[in-house]
Amino acid sequence: MALGTALGLALTVPGTASAHPGGPPAKVPVATGWGGAVSSVDADATRIGLDVLRRGGNAVDAAVATAAALGVTEPYSAGIGGGGYFVYYDARSRTVRTLDGRETAPARMGKDTFLDPATGRPIPFDQAVNSGLSVGVPGTPQTWQTALREWGTTNLRAALAPARELAERGFVVDQTFHDQTAANAARFADIVPTAKLFLPNGQPPVVGSVFRNPDLARTYDRLGRAGVDWFYRGDLGREVVRTAQRPPVTPNATRVFRPGLIETDDLARYRVLDRRPTRIDYRGLDVYGMAPSSSGGSTVGEALNILKTADPRTQDDVTATHYYLEASRLAFADRNRYVGDPAFVDVPLRGLLADGFAGERACLIDPDHAAVSPVPPGDPKPPYDHDCTATGTPEATEPTEGLSTTHLVTADRWGNVVSYTLTIEQTGGSAITVPGRGFLLNNELTDFDFAPLTPGVFDPNLPAPGKRPRSSMSPTIVLRDGHPFLAVGSPGGATIITTVLQVLTGRLDRGLSLPAAVAAPRLSQRNGAATEVEPGVPGPLRTALEQRGHVLKDNPEIGAAAALEFLPNGRVQAVAEPTRRGGGAAGVVHSDR
């Protein structure tokens, strides 16, 4: 998606899509050089982040500007109607800091909110998604302001200015934007402002046309001038509440959009949380991730701890893949049983990331045979006796989590690094656009388990007032000797965890370059009956895994990573997807070329 060059466009109707003689700009998946780097799924967003770095901004300034641009060009995955997790390496103090900007449940939400009162059973999932009921209190605006205030060099107004201009001028529609709109057209058509914005003339925007969002441009302009209090304590917040409580449904809507529970007091109470990151030692490297309410740092960390009990130098490709899948299977069993919002659940994080617990879990891996899912969770409390017997009750069902979201990484000339994952949950969120404001509201509360996964067994992820739903977002930064080495993350719901894990093991254990590790065909095992595999997984590897008992299920696309690596002599390499999700865009301030 690209910034339109036809600057003479005069129409200001939201969703205007005009013919454009050129196509979207070419996306470069790998860029190497110095002076700073940006990688995201979108060429406009990456360009904007690089411009910030060239003007002297730091990695935090560039990350916020890039994220705001993604709210324009990737509105079905990100925006100020959602939330996310921000991981930051500060070069001066050599520390990693994290911000939990996850959405929260309204005060009126209870553990039975997603149950049908007549039957006591969960309501249909699509009725939860397409409703105000699933709208959580957004955390993205406060995340941006907090990150800039704590670590940035500019203010919110300046950081939003390039994205505001992008929304006003427009970007060239690519195939991915068109296809995502078409896939959501039926539900978008049920909401008046959503249909008006994203379905001009009743149809998805044509590939090659210029899509403009002047409503969002005005929203960014006012947000930059007024600050986030306009969102959390002002008129914009009241508009968000009114829209969620009474979704602006068309008279001929084919769906029932349930009213939301969010109130203005919920917005006023919202706080971004400065959390201590997760950290593990992996083969002499420090791997930092996001602590609960995300399950990303704990689950990636536990799986890596399990994998480091084996020597990758002794493993062929089949055995290495088998161990990766089994480590992920075991870590997901523990994630589903123990991880939730730590304000409501006593998450045994220290135990989940203990080497002793990893050894206990690793001894359950049969080198020749896959386990049958669901495997039961382990007991992360010491002492660890390594008796190699599985105990506990496995989860009866697998949690549901939306597959959208987006990720970006930035680095600056001083060595600061950001790994930032943000989302509105499903592709297109709740499908509800705030009238006249140009952004969609999230459906993040569907990340809660609607009912206990296993009857009679404690579930850490049931809804509660003010609670943050468990997430799989896994923004990760890897340090070597206290200095940044890698940063990576991905969208993809629960497959985020396996995507990040596979990229890390590909780069750190299997001798792949970072571009090759990102591009490699993916497999995802999440303690489910089947392992999902992309079409590019070689036939001989598939056959060998099936011979070890793995049940394989095709998935056309898993994740869409963005990453960077620090190279010798002060150089940096930015890496994006070459093909997944239409391919990503990587860039550096000064290219080797």
| 277-301 confidence digits (pLDDT tens) | 999 999 999 999 999 999 999 999 9
- Going across the sheet that includes 523-524, the strands are 523-524, 531-533, 552-554
| Cα 402 to Cα 125: distance, rounded to the nearest angstrom | 11
pLDDT at residue 254, as a whole number: 84
DSSP 544-562: HHHHTT--EEE-S-----E
Residue 220: is its pLDDT beyond 80? Answer: yes
pLDDT at residue 216, as a whole number: 98
Residue 23: is its pLDDT beyond 80? Answer: no
User: Is residue 456 situated within a structural domain?
Assistant: no
User: Is residue 205 situated within a structural domain?
Assistant: yes
User: Is residue 454 situated within a structural domain?
Assistant: no
Q: Is 381 helix (H, G, I), strand (E, B) or coil?
A: coil
Lowest mean pLDDT among 270-284, 303-317, 391-405, 485-499: 391-405
pLDDT at residue 4, as a whole number: 30
Q: Tell me what the mean pLDDT of segment 508-521 comes to.
A: 97
Q: Tell me the pLDDT of the chain averaged across its residues.
A: 94
Q: Tell me what the mean pLDDT of segment 512-541 comes to.
A: 98
Beta bridge partners of 406: 422
Residue 456: is its pLDDT beyond 70? Answer: yes
CA atoms within 13 A on the CB side of 48: 34
Q: Tell me what the mean pLDDT of segment 218-247 comes to.
A: 98
Task: State which residues form the domain around 105.
Answer: 29-273+410-447
Beta strands in 206-330 (DSSP E): 210-211, 273-275, 278-282, 285-289
**Checking phi first, is residue 375 left (phi over 0); if not, alpha (psi -120 to 50) or beta?**
beta
Tell me whether the omega of the peptide bond preceding residue 248 falls within 30 degrees of 0, making it cis: no
User: Is residue 184 situated within a structural domain?
Assistant: yes
Residue 13: is its pLDDT beyond 90? Answer: no
User: Is residue 366 situated within a structural domain?
Assistant: no
Residue 22: is its pLDDT beyond 50? Answer: yes
Closest CA to 336 of 486, 239, 469, 459: 459
pLDDT at residue 11, as a whole number: 29
Share of the chain above pLDDT 70, in %: 94
Beta strands in 131-219 (DSSP E): 171-172, 210-211
Question: In this structure, are residues 33 and 53 in contact, taking their beta carbons and an 8 Å threshold?
Answer: no
| Cα 444 to Cα 437: distance, rounded to the nearest angstrom | 20
Share of the chain above pLDDT 90, in %: 90
| Cα 198 to Cα 446: distance, rounded to the nearest angstrom | 23
Q: How many domains does the chain have?
A: 1
pLDDT at residue 403, as a whole number: 58
User: Is residue 210 situated within a structural domain?
Assistant: yes
Q: Highest mean pLDDT: which of 63-67, 200-204, 450-454?
A: 63-67
Radius of gyration of the chain (CA): 23
423 is catalytic: no
Lowest mean pLDDT among 23-27, 134-138, 188-192, 274-278: 23-27
Candidates 113, 143, 176, 405; catalytic one: 405
Beta bridge partners of 85: 100, 421
Match 């739903």 to its residue by tokens.
Answer: 469
Tell me how far apart the terminal alpha carbons of the chain are, to the nearest angstrom: 24
Q: Tell me what the mean pLDDT of segment 258-274 comes to.
A: 98
CA–CA distances in Å: residue 105 to residues 17, 21, 111: 36, 46, 11
Tell me whether the omega of the peptide bond preceding residue 383 falls within 30 degrees of 0, making it cis: yes
Distance of CA 458 to the CA centre of its chain: 26
458-479 pLDDT tens trace: 999 999 999 999 999 999 999 9
Give 141's pLDDT tier (boundaries 50, 70, 90): very high
* Two tokens, residue 70: 């993604």
528: exposed, middle or buried (C-beta count within 10 Å: 0-12, 13-18, 19+)? Answer: middle
477-513 core/surface letters (b: 16 or more CB in 10 A; e: else) = bbbeeeebbbbbbbbbbbbbbbbbbbbbbbbbbbebe
Question: In this structure, are residues 380 and 357 in contact, taking their beta carbons and an 8 Å threshold?
Answer: yes
Q: Tell me what the mean pLDDT of segment 66-72 comes to.
A: 98
pLDDT at residue 15, as a whole number: 56
Q: How many residues make up the chain in this entry?
A: 593
Lowest mean pLDDT among 24-28, 63-67, 97-101, 381-385: 24-28
Question: In this structure, are residues 428 and 483 in contact, taking their beta carbons and an 8 Å threshold?
Answer: no
Pairing of strands 171-172, 278-282: unpaired
Name the CA dihedral angle for 151, 302, 312, 506, rounded to a multiple of 10 degrees: -50
User: Is residue 304 situated within a structural domain?
Assistant: no
Question: In this structure, are residues 528 and 504 in contact, taking their beta carbons and an 8 Å threshold?
Answer: no
User: Is residue 47 situated within a structural domain?
Assistant: yes
